[in-house]
A and B are shown apart, each in its own frame.
Chain A
Amino acid sequence: MHLAYPVVLAALLFSVGVYGVLARRNVVLVLMSVELMLNAVNLNLVAFDAWLRDSLHAGQALTLFTITIAAAEIGLGLAIVLLLFRARGTADVDRATALGDPAESAAEEAPAGAEALKGQAAA
């Protein structure tokens, strides 16, 4: 099988994950998107391991590690989400802005702030 197929699939999966992380409001969906991104990486690891015919199969071994850590991470993440929901009654990322600058009404200015930041980074 040509390498392009798994790599393109991985790239698509990663992009979907990025989109989910950046755009979804529900924290659970954000966590799921993170899983998508991790699995895209896993796919890449396995694909390149096969393509390179690595005798030690380092890629596959690393994938196992990643899966383990992802499981731990999602457990921790869901616990945090649970606590957040209990405390706030919502699981929206947009509304969990208690760590922001209190003087600003953060929710409204967030896009403008992000744009300004992007503009600065581009400059």
Chain B
Amino acid sequence: MNLALPTLVPVLPALGAAATLAVGKRAPGLARPLAIVPVAVSAVLALVVALQLGTGQVLESATRLTPTGGPEITLGFYLDGYSSLISVLVGLVATCVQVYSTAYLKDDLRYPSYAALVSLFTAAMFLVVYSGDLIVLLVGWEVMGICSYFLIGHHWESADARSASLKAFLVTKLGDVPFLFGIFLLGADAGSFRVSDVLAAAGEGRLGHPTLIALLLLAGVAGKSAQFPLHTWLPDAMAGPTPVSALIHAATMVAAGIYLVARLLPVFLLSGAALVVLAVMAAVTMIGSALCALAQDDLKRVLAYSTVGQLGYMAGALASGDREASVFHLVSHGAFKALLFLAAGVVIHAAHTNSISVMSRTPGLRKRVPDAYWTMGIALVALIGLPPFSGFFSKEAVLTAAEHAANGEALTNGVGPASAVPQAAGWIVLISAALTALLTAAYAARLFLVAFHSPAASGAGLAAAAPVTLPDHEAGAPYSPEPDEADPATAEPPAMRWPLWVLAIPTMAFGVTSLRSDWLPALLDGGSLRPSAVTAVTGTGLAVVGALLAYGAWRSATARLGAGRPAPALEGRVPEQAGAPAAEVIVADPGRTLLGPLFGPARHGFGVDRLYTALFVRPVAAAALLVRFLDREVVETYVRGTGAGANLLGRAVRLAQTGNAQTYLSALLAGVVLLAVLVAV
């Protein structure tokens, strides 16, 4: 197979990024084509590469980059079904996002740098996916991190965006340091950084410290894929422009961690402890984030928490030893979550707010953005996991994997022995995934109902009186104000509408590819992705129950509202809500009823941020103050002291220079006498 094609896939967007940066300011007309064309061509090339590679084959080529004295670093590819599948997803989403951004950031002054960063980000993701060497993979991994930092901080005029970008950078770096050591240890144990050598070493059991390696790598994965202890950056990252959220924080970058574990799964299978840790991490992440999503008022934060939860699903599938299910869910989630975010961007533009409770009072929102309304509905149904949408199949694959792992017959598909997966990991994932299915359905239904179907919105006369653009967010909660790049009268320009429908196709149809074993599974490990009857019924049933619960709660809340009585849950919360605008009160929010006393903590992410502030931010800030004190007051005192000492001495010597010759002579005489006495004695 020609190596030029896979080489061009990561190189083209990088060149496009450089060209966009170089000419973007001088020739604004060129910025758009330069942003879209390289990414689109890469996407096509990725598809061509995937088709040429076919199923069940591995393309590997490597050239030595530099002699290191230790394990060598090589520049090369390792292409198999996983990488070609994910590269197609990355290309598709990136192209949609670039097209969408041309309309979304139409009047943005910094559009060229934004587009260049998106292109560079795409190149880095391609590099991660294609790379056959862990060190080169790490390069792409870190480039994505820095692009993410810049893109989250795109609206750097607002303090929220600045702090969110710093937070994302620091938190992911916190995971990347152990990740780096994990790669070093893996390379040292396997004697090579090449993925194929590492996998061979893992297969032969030559790795000396599999648990340590796996845990170190998991720290990096937790940072990048926003799993439990390090997930806090993702909801705040919504301060970036919405297309960035769609690209980075839903479809690609956060998927890099999952992809890495999938690729190195044989290493993880060597350590049951690491799998249990991964399972617990995934379980805490899914349930916690689903509860948080149920309480958020910011549309994008709901989606962000949902992303965290779905990544938990993927991690759970990996903990169950089934990387097929994980990557399957990754791809289907990538499509429908990107769709959700892009649709959310349209809605936010039309409503001029991020808050779903304010949206609920926007008259005729549903009719102003019909495409976003319908595609969002499709994507939410996929998120809930109702057949025949893609989310159903991928989520059932995860549940099936967990069920098999819990029975001790994990679906490792030849990657490792089924006994390598502890049954405990399977049980943890199975139970939490079932619970999350319920919660996911509830928050998806709540989002849809509150944002689009509130009676205030349909009875336009009632809501017309209410100010629509009231900024409605709690003090302290990060809020991402989107500048009004688009004219609200034409809320859905074609460049923003068509990507939605393009992404809606895989959202609806991708799941079907898993039904026959010679379609999608043949591209991956060859195992079955067909949902098993028990989990399919349970999962779908739970999802339906969750949606119905949300609907019921919403109906009763609406009814209470209609009757003019505040919801009972509200009465106890008056002190807390005292500073909040009255808009909160008149919205029927099923989340409040469903969560009950948990609502307050869930809205603030269960205080994890506050805990981190107390545990890490304050000590670090205090240490910084101490260092500042030591530097300013101690070290600089010595420096200033030498200056002041010389100054004082100089002043004393100046006193001697009176200009009176007799004084000088007196001093001279005194000196002579003194010397004479000293010599004589």
Contact A104 B671 (CB under 8 A): no
CA distance in complex: A86, B632 (Å): 58
Stretch at the interface among B189-197, B248-256, B656-664: B656-664
Residues of B within 8 A of A114 (CB): 658, 663, 666-667
CB distance from A30 to the nearest CB of B (A): 8
CB-defined contacts of B670 to chain A, threshold 8 Å: 117-118, 121-122
Measured as residues with beta carbon below 8 angstroms from the partner, the interface class of chain A is: 20 to 34
DSSP majority for the A interface? helix
For the complex, what is the distance from the CA of A114 to the CA of B665, rounded to whole Å? 10
Cα(A112)–Cα(B660), bound, Å: 12
On whether the beta carbons of A113 and B655 are closer than 8 Å, the reply is yes
Known: A21-B665, A114-B666, A121-B671. A107 touches B656 (CB 8 A): no
Please name the residue on chain B nearest to A113 by beta carbon: B655
A98 lies within 8 A of chain B by Cβ: yes
- A33–B661 Cα distance when bound, in Å, is 14
B654, B661, B662, B666: the one contacting A103 at CB < 8 Å is B654
Closest B residue to A100 by beta carbon equals B659
Fill in one digit per residue for B644-681: 1 if any A CB lies within 8 Å of its CB, else 0. 00000000101111111111011101110010000000
A90 in contact (CB, < 8 A) = no
- If A117-B667, A121-B674, A122-B674 touch, does A21 touch B662 (CB 8 Å cutoff)? yes
Collect the chain B residues with CB atoms within 8 Å of residue A101's CB: 654, 657-659
Shortest Cβ distance from residue A23 to the other chain B in the assembled complex, whole angstroms: 8
* Alpha-carbon separation in the docked complex, A112 to B593 (Å): 89
Complex: how many Å from CA A114 to CA B669? Answer: 12
What residue in chain A is nearest B660 (Cβ atoms)?
A: A110
- Shortest distance in angstroms between A109's beta carbon and chain B's nearest beta carbon? 6
Q: At the interface, yes or no: A70 with Cβ under 8 Å from chain B?
A: no
Query: Binary interface profile of A, 47-60, with partner B (CB < 8 Å = 1, else 0)?
Result: 00000000000000
> If A106-B658, A113-B658 touch, does A18 touch B669 (CB 8 Å cutoff)?
yes
Q: How far is the CA of A98 from the CA of B671 in the complex (A)?
A: 24
Q: How far is the CB of B406 from chain A (nearest CB, A)?
A: 90
Please give me the residue from chain B that is nearest to A118 by CB atom: B670
Contacting residue for B660 out of A21, A100, A121, A122, CB 8 A: A100
Query: SS class of chain B's interface: helix, strand, loop or mixed?
Result: helix
Contact call B662/A93, Cβ cutoff below 8 A? yes
A118-B670, A121-B671 known; A112 vs B659 contact (CB < 8 Å): no
- Give, as a whole number of angstroms, the nearest-CB distance from A107 to chain B: 7
Give complex CA distance A93, B670 in Å. Answer: 20
Residue picked from B656, B657, B660, most chain A C-beta under 10 Å: B660
Q: Could you tell me the distance between the alpha carbons of A121 and B652 in the complex, rounded to whole angstroms?
A: 13
Contacts of B652 in A (CB 8 A): 116
State A96–B661 Cα separation when bound (angstroms).
8
Q: Smallest Cβ distance from B666 to chain A, in angstroms?
A: 5
CA–CA, A47 and B669, complex, Å: 25
Provide the bound-state CA to CA distance between A118 and B666, in Å: 9
Q: Within the assembled complex, what's the spacing in Å between the Cα atoms of A101 and B659?
A: 7
Q: How far is the CA of A21 from the CA of B654 in the complex (A)?
A: 23
A117 to B659 Cα, complex, angstroms: 14
B660 partner residues in chain A, CB cutoff 8 A:
93-94, 97, 100, 106-107, 110
What B residues does A122 contact at CB under 8 A?
670, 674
Q: Whole-angstrom distance between the alpha carbons of A46 and B286 in the complex?
A: 116
Verify A104–B654 contact, CB threshold 8 A.
yes
Assuming the A-B contacts A97-B660, A107-B660, are A116 and B655 also in contact, with contact meaning beta carbons closer than 8 angstroms in the complex? yes
Tell me the A55-87 residues at the B interface (CB within 8 Å). Answer: none
CB distance from A18 to the nearest CB of B (A): 7
Q: In the complex, A97→B663 CA distance in Å?
A: 11
- Over the window 32-56 of chain A, the binary record of Cβ atoms lying under 8 Å from chain B Cβ atoms (1 yes, 0 no) is 0000000000000000000000000
**Smallest Cβ-Cβ distance to A105: which chain B residue:** B658
- Check A22 for interface membership: any CB of B closer than 8 A: yes
Residues of A within 8 A of B658 (CB): 97, 100-101, 104, 106-107, 109-110, 113-114
Identify which of B654, B658, B670 gathers the most chain A CB atoms within 10 Å of its CB: B658
Q: CB-CB contacts of A1-36 with B at 8 A, as 1s and 0s?
A: 000000000000000001001110000001000000
Q: Which residues on A sit within 8 Å (CB–CB) of B662?
A: 21-23, 30, 93-94
How far is the CB of B639 from the nearest CB of chain A, in Å?
26
- With beta carbons under 8 angstroms apart, the residue of B656, B661, B665, B674 that contacts A113 is B656
A21 to B665 alpha-carbon distance, docked (Å): 8
User: How many angstroms between the C-alpha atoms of A106 and B659 in the bound complex?
Assistant: 7
> A83 to nearest B CB, angstroms?
16
Cα A22 to Cα B672 with chains together (Å)? 14
Residues on A with C-beta less than 8 A from B656 are 113, 116-117
Determine how close the nearest CB of chain A comes to the CB of B647; give it in whole angstroms.
13
Most chain B beta-carbon neighbours within 10 Å: one of A18, A30, A94: A94
- Give A17 Cβ to nearest chain B Cβ, in Å: 12
- Complex alpha-carbon distance, A23 and B544, angstroms: 115
Q: Is the CB of B665 within 8 A of A118?
A: no
Write out the residue numbers on chain B whose beta carbons fall within 8 Å of the beta carbon of A117. 655-656, 663, 667, 670
A94 to B654 alpha-carbon distance, docked (Å): 18
Taken together as a complex, chains A and B put the C-alpha atoms of A112 and B667 apart, in Å, by 12
CA separation between A67 and B669, bound complex, in Å?
23
Distance of A101 Cα from B669 Cα, bound (Å): 22
Q: Specify the chain A residue showing the minimal Cβ separation from B661.
A: A93
Cα-based distance from A121 to B668 in the complex (angstroms): 10
Interchain nearest-CB distance for A105 vs B (Å): 10
* Residue in A18, A23, A97 whose beta carbon sits within 8 Å of that of B659 in the complex: A97
Which residues of chain A come closer than 8 Å to B655, judged between CB atoms? Answer: 104, 109, 112-113, 116-117
CB contact list, B409-447 vs A, under 8 A: none
Chain B CB count within 10 A is highest, among A93, A96, A101, A122, for A101
Measured CA separation A34–B665 after assembly (Å):
12
Which residue of A21, A110, A116 has the most chain B CB atoms within 10 A of its CB atom? A110
A-B CB contact pairs (8 Å), 13 listed: A21-B665, A22-B665, A22-B666, A97-B660, A99-B659, A101-B657, A104-B654, A104-B657, A107-B658, A107-B660, A113-B656, A117-B655, A121-B670
What would 12 more interface pairs be, CB under 8 Å, given A22-B669, A96-B659, A117-B663?
A22-B662, A23-B662, A93-B660, A98-B659, A100-B658, A103-B654, A104-B654, A106-B658, A121-B670, A121-B671, A121-B674, A122-B670
7 closest Cβ pairs, A-B complex: A100-B659, A97-B659, A106-B658, A113-B655, A110-B658, A101-B657, A114-B663
